[in-house]
Structure formats: C-alpha cells, structure tokens
Amino acid sequence: MSKKVTTATLQSYKRRGRSAVFLTAYDYPTATFAERAGVDMLLVGDSAAMTVLGHSSTVGIGMEEMIVFSKAVSYACQTAFVVGDMPFLSYQVSAEEAIRNAGALVAGGGCDAVKCEGGRRVANRIAAIVDAGIPVMGHIGLTPQNLGQLGGYRVQGKSLQTAEVLVNDALALESAGAFAILVEAVPAVTAALIRERVTVPVYGIGAGPHVDGQLVISHDILGSFVGEIEPRFVKRYADVGGTVEKAFRSYAADVRDGSFPGPEHCYPIPPDEASSIERLLVGKRKQTPQLQETDR
C-alpha cells in the first residue's frame, strides 16, 4: 500500500516538479475509486450542494452535511490527503467559530486539512485555524461563496491590476500559514505569476498548466453533473449520467414487460415445499423456481 500523502509529501512533489492530482469526492464509493486510481488529494467540496444536493449555488450547505460527506470520504482514504471545505459562514463570523468548525471537519469528519475561500480578508481567520494546529488550503480567484460580489461565474485576474490583487491575496495567505493555495478560473499566465511569487504549492482549477497540480470536480469529468454550468476547462472522461440513465430505462422496461425478475433472481425452494405453498394460491402467477442440485 502507498504511504499516506501529507503536506510534506505535497511540498516534495512541488520541489520535484511532480503534479499533484486533486479531485472532489463526497461519498465512499467515489473516494474508494479515486484511492484505487492513485489520486493524491480529495476535496470534500461545498460544491456538494450543487453536484449532490441539487442546490443552485454552494452557499446553502452547512457544517452538518459537510461532516457527513467528509466522514464518508475519509473512511475510504488510507493514502489520499483529504481536504474538507469550510462552508459559507463557517469561518467568516469569528475566529472562534472558524477554529471550532475547522476542528469539527478534522475531528468529526476525518479530514486532514480544511479549505477557506478568500484572500486578504480571510487571512486572519486562516491564521487562527493554523494556530490551532489545522492545515489550511487557501482558495482565490473565482470564489463561489462570493458569486454575488463577483457578478457570477466570471474569469478572474484578466488584467495586470486584478492579477496583482490576486498575487497580494496569495502572499497574505502564505503569511497566514496556508500550506497551499488553490486558484480557480484565472488565465494561465496569472496563475503562473501567483505560483512564482509564493513558495507554497499552488493548485489550479481552470487555471492552466503552470501550477503544482490540478483539481477537477469529479461530476464534471464523469459527465454526471445534472446542471447547466459547463466550464470551458472541463474535459469529459466518461458519460456516467448517460450510462446510469440508460440502465434505469432498461430496468424500467424489464419491470414493465415482466422480464425482471426472472427465475434466476428468485430464491429457489424444494419442489415439494413449492407445491404445498402453490396449492394455497388462488391468483395467477409465474412458475416458482425449483431447487436445483447445485443450489443445495
């Protein structure tokens, strides 16, 4: 079995120029498949609100749900580093609440670290969580918890001035003690500049190739997101949604035309028992499966 990925492992990947592979997961089966595939890091993202719970944004998910999802993911992970997302208003209100909620994701949810959205304005909260002994990943660029302020899903850091704002945010997060910074939806050159200015690993989602690792939302690459948003940076690796829908259609057709369940899906009993029970039946029925020698 591979060794557990830690913040030190991630630093050493950066030094060696090895890209970290980072995916979202919200449940035990997905996390298990990701572990088997050798994924380095899993984010239990508040995107679960949209991918799993059907919300139209990420702000409606709370700590209780995040702990349930985090537990399911961390149970599956012997190797992958698990990052739990701090949901909206779990760290903005006070340093005490930020520490308590980060602690709950680690102690209750089994996460190895937490992630907070925002730059300079959340740096003091990040410092408080780090002081409490919990590794924190920063998240700048497009921060979905602030969509209202950003004016929707918009690419960030497209001008020199806004790129510099992002660099200053990244420096503030690094000074606050963040072990890594996630950059979302920025031009590749802006991400490269941010990476060059800080020493911690910089991961990207929609931030091009010049970073220390890539994050994608598993539902996006699997084709199982039931929603309208299809970001430019998504590459589809499967059509899980199509496969699942096709399977459900076949099942529905089989139930309706009577081909499921067949004899092979029924529990066989000895012929004499079947005959005694059948004598009590008054209605029409299919043949009761008979016990075969091989079933005994």
Give the shortest CB-138-to-ligand KIV separation in angstroms. 11
205 binds ligand KIV (CB under 6 A): yes
Binding track, positions 69-108, relative to ligand KIV; x by CB under 6 A:
----------------x-----------------------
How many residues touch ligand KIV (CB under 6 A)? 11
Give the shortest CB-41-to-ligand KIV separation in angstroms. 12
Contact, 157 vs 166, CB < 8 A? yes
Residues 21-50 that bind ligand KIV (CB under 6 A): 24, 43, 45-47
Binding track, positions 50-69, relative to ligand KIV; x by CB under 6 A:
--------------------
Q: 35, 117, 174, 184: which is the annotated catalytic residue?
A: 184
Known catalytic residue: 97? Answer: no
Nearer of residues 92 and 291 to ligand KIV, judged by Cβ: 92
Binding track, positions 231-270, relative to ligand KIV; x by CB under 6 A:
----------------------------------------
Show which residues are catalytic: 184
Binding site for ligand KIV (CB under 6 A): 24, 43, 45-47, 85, 182, 184, 205, 215, 217
